[in-house]
């Protein structure tokens, strides 16, 4: 077993009223072995005992403007570690060697050449046993390094100099800062999957509804990829704080899209947006094939992805044409605006009446 690393890892945790979950993560960090840690809390104005929890564990407490990107940038600005690890407050670490092994994995590349970042595979900590297939789908996908599969729940480990060369997190919106920096890393460096895994709370999925949250996430990512960030800026409660989370209503988001189609995009703009959404869907068509691998897992066994392999070798090369972008865009319009939008409008209005 390697000895204690002679480097400092700065662990940066953005918080907003996380007094309930933060002690568990800080206790896990205190049990980490073979590595020197600097713990920095980037707080967005907590009104609970988050600051007292940080002080109890001797963590540096940095007050920043609210928004995860701004909070993590403020914490990174005072970090002294050679390596930075960004974690969410509801993460847990069950292996005392997790972080030292992770840094060793990043160090495998010569320092002067390293533009490498790492993330952990996830396991969700759940209260309910419902949606087991959906959670297995989400968990296994976090071990991949494909486009749009890396987010903040998985942690972000990289050299401080690489982080600063990327310009830090994008603060233009209070969310999607993780997706933006993930794709920037993909363009300018390399992603690796770190050894071990992180456990993260499924509280948002369980409170909002797994499938409702996933539908909204797909809308957010698709419209972001199409350059329609005004949806994210205007959407009502698109990403509520954990304390405000409850059953997620989707009809207001579909109503906003209809309004934008009518008042902003008009006919030509709507065609363009859904064409770009079609391109996004085609580029992510591998997820449908991957789903069949997960669904067939009891028959296939662990770690086997024949449907995904078929996509990569056969389906993707055969559909890499603009015609399929347009076809996927048309199907997207029919499914979201012709099926899901009226369905949720009916169901949610019926429950409120």
pLDDT along the chain (353 residues), means of 10: 77 96 97 97 96 97 95 98 96 96 85 82 92 94 90 95 95 85 93 95 90 93 90 68 69 93 96 97 96 95 94 97 97 97 93 68
CATH numeric code, 8-201: 3.90.550.10
Q: Where are the alpha helices (DSSP H) in 47-124?
A: 50-56, 68-77, 98-106
Question: What residue segments make up the domains of the chain, in order of their start?
Answer: 8-201, 205-352
117/85 Cα distance (integer angstroms): 10
What is the helix (H) or strand (E) element at residue 41, kind and residue range?
strand 36-43
Report pLDDT for 77.
98
Q: Which residues contact 315 (CB under 8 A, 6 or more apart)?
A: 285, 289
Report pLDDT for 174.
73
Q: Are 62 and 42 in contact (CB under 8 A)?
A: yes
Beta-sheet pairing, 122-125 with 198-201 = parallel
Report pLDDT for 325.
97
Per-position b or e across 54-80, b if 16+ CB within 10 A of its CB: beeeebbbbebeebbbbbbbbbbeebe
Contacts for 213-217 with beta carbons within 8 Å, 24 or more apart?
213/248, 214/134, 215/250, 215/340, 216/248, 216/250, 216/253
Report pLDDT for 238.
56
pTM metric for this prediction = 0.91
93/120 Cα distance (integer angstroms): 11
Report pLDDT for 113.
60
13/38 Cα distance (integer angstroms): 11
What is the helix (H) or strand (E) element at residue 307, kind and residue range?
helix 306-310
- Residues linked to residue 198 through DSSP beta bridges, in sequence order: 122
Report pLDDT for 1.
47
Report pLDDT for 53.
97
75/63 Cα distance (integer angstroms): 8
Report pLDDT for 2.
58
Q: Are 227 and 172 in contact (CB under 8 A)?
A: no
Cα atoms in the Cβ-side hemisphere of radius 13 Å centred on 283: 14
Cα dihedral 61→67→70→75 (10° resolution): 20
Report pLDDT for 147.
86
Report residue 159: phi and psi, to 5°.
Answer: -65, 145
């Amino acid at each position: 077993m390697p000895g204690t690393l002679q480097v400092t890892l700065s662990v940066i945790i953005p918080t907003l009223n996380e007094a309930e979950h933060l002690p568990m993560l800080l206790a896990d960090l205190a049990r980490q072995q073979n590595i020197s840690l600097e713990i920095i809390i980037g707080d967005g104005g907590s009104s609970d005992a988050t600051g007292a929890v940080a002080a109890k564990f001797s963590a540096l407490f940095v007050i920043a403007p609210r928004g995860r990107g701004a909070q993590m940038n403020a914490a990174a600005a005072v970090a002294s570690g050679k390596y930075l690890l960004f974690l969410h407050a509801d993460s847990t670490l069950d292996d005392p060697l997790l972080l030292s092994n992770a840094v060793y994995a990043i160090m495998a590349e010569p320092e002067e050449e390293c533009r490498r970042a790492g993330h952990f595979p996830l396991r969700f900590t759940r209260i309910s046993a419902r949606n087991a297939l959906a959670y297995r789908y989400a968990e296994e996908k976090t071990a991949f390094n494909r486009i749009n599969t890396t987010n903040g729940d998985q942690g972000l480990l990289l050299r401080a100099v690489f982080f600063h060369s990327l310009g830090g997190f994008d603060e233009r919106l209070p969310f999607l800062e993780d997706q933006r920096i993930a794709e920037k890393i993909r363009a300018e460096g390399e992603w690796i999957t770190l050894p071990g895994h992180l456990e993260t709370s499924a509280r948002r999925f369980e409170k909002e509804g797994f499938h409702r949250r996933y539908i909204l996430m797909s809308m957010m990512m698709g419209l972001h990829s199409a350059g329609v960030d005004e949806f994210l800026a205007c959407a009502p409660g698109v990403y509520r704080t954990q304390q405000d989370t409850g059953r997620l209503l989707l009809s207001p988001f579909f109503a906003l899209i209809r309004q934008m189609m009518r008042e902003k995009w008009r006919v030509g703009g709507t065609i363009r947006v859904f064409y770009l959404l079609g391109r996004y869907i085609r580029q992510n068509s591998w997820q449908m094939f991957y789903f069949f691998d997960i669904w067939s897992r009891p028959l296939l066994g662990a770690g086997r992805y024949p449907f995904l392999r078929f996509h990569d070798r056969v389906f993707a090369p055969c559909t890499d044409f603009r015609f399929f972008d347009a076809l996927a865009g048309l199907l997207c319009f029919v499914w979201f605006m012709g099926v899901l939008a009226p369905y949720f409008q009916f169901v949610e209005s019926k429950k409120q009446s």
